[in-house]
Amino acid sequence: MTRERRGLIIVYTGDGKGKTTAALGLALRAVGAGLRVWMLQFIKGDWKPGELKGAQLLAPNFSMVQLGIGFVTYKPKRPFEEHVEAANKAWEQAKAEMASGRQDILILDEINNAFRFNLLTAAEVVEVLRTKPEALHVVLTGRGAPPEIIALADLVTEMKAVKHPYDQGIPAQRGIDF
């Protein structure tokens, strides 16, 4: 096999822990290999997970932005329309980054949740990904990846929950869960 650069569409989905952290692990490896990574977190945005500071330690080759406005369905603090607006703005920024040629990898973290909550349609994202720059790798994470996204992807891994500390009543741990 020749080592030609072939941009992949990678999906981490499923109900087990490890989707976002798999994307972060990939980012760490990629930055070490000299690639530039841009990560966008949909949905989240009203708290600061550890990866936001961790990403800064890998700047400028790793940049992360959070453009969500918090929980959509669970005790939402903001009306649904504002979530739709935030998700669409985030998607616009992702498209701009995709077109800029500045990045080697784009991570669209929790985008599957944006589909599940009807903030964005999978069809519009698929349409853009079909014409993405050839060499660009794109990673999509979140539970419940829709069939159109799975059909388009080159690599799909489904995280399966076998055990999670939460089931024993152990709260989320800083540095492990956020």
Kindly identify the residues of this chain, within the stretch 98-137, that bind ligand ATP according to CB under 6 A. 110
Based on the number of CB atoms within 10 Å of its own CB, is 84 exposed (0-12), middle (13-18) or buried (19 or more)?
middle
**15 lines the binding site for ligand ATP (CB under 6 A):** yes
**166 lines the binding site for ligand ATP (CB under 6 A):** yes
Choices 16-24, 32-40, 129-137, 151-159; region in contact with Mg ion by CB under 5 A: 16-24
Taking the C-alpha atoms of residue 96 and residue 55, their distance in angstroms, rounded to an integer, is 20
DSSP string covering 50-71, please?
HHHHHHHHTTTTEEEEE---S-
Closest CA to 89 of 70, 73, 69: 69
* Number of chain positions touching Mg ion (CB under 5 A): 2
Query: Which does residue 166 bind out of Mg ion, ligand ATP, none, counting CB within 5 to 8 angstroms by kind?
Result: ligand ATP
SS3 content of the chain, % helix, strand, coil (to 5): 40, 15, 45
In angstroms, give the least distance from the CB of 5 to ligand ATP: 27
In angstroms, give the least distance from the CB of 101 to ligand ATP: 28
**157 lines the binding site for ligand ATP (CB under 6 A):** no
DSSP alpha helices (H): ranges in the chain? 19-32, 50-57, 80-100, 111-116, 122-130, 147-152
**20 lines the binding site for Mg ion (CB under 5 A):** yes
Give whichever of 48 and 164 is closer to ligand ATP, judged by the CB atom. Answer: 164
**41 lines the binding site for ligand ATP (CB under 6 A):** no
Phi, psi of 121 (to 5 degrees): -100, 145
**21 lines the binding site for ligand ATP (CB under 6 A):** yes
Q: Which stretches of the chain bind ligand ATP, using CB under 6 A?
A: 15-21, 110, 143, 159, 161, 164, 166, 172, 177-178
